[in-house]
Amino acid sequence: MAVNINYHRCKGCKSCHNHCPADIIGWDEERDIPYIAYPDECSYCGICKMECPEDAMELTLPMEGWLDLHKRFISKLSVPLEIRWPEES
């Protein structure tokens, strides 16, 4: 699973559950803690991580995600072939 909750840090504020746009994060009413209900449908948008005040959400982008990012964005960046440092005066 590439989206995890660090229960050592989680304080049960419910922010991740309330903000996930895809309802991936369920809420365990009995234990008053979040859980990952649909891990395979997570889009790695990062909102849960940004909204967690305890830094308890752990996201690991899977390899397919990196390859997709590379295909869509990184390969289109223009990277200078040579770096020229300013000459000393």
CB 27 to ligand SF4: min, Å: 8
> Between 21 and 86, whose beta carbon lies closer to ligand SF4?
21
**Strand ranges for the chain from DSSP E:** 3-5, 25-28, 33-36, 57-59
> Between 6 and 82, whose beta carbon lies closer to ligand SF4?
6
CA distance 23 to 66: 23
> Between 22 and 74, whose beta carbon lies closer to ligand SF4?
22
Residue with tokens 């000393």: 88
CB 72 to ligand SF4: min, Å: 18
DSSP one-letter string for 69-86: HHHHTGGGSPPPSS--PP
* Binding region for ligand SF4 (CB under 6 A): 3, 5, 10-16, 20, 22, 24-25, 34, 42-48, 51-52, 54, 56-57, 59
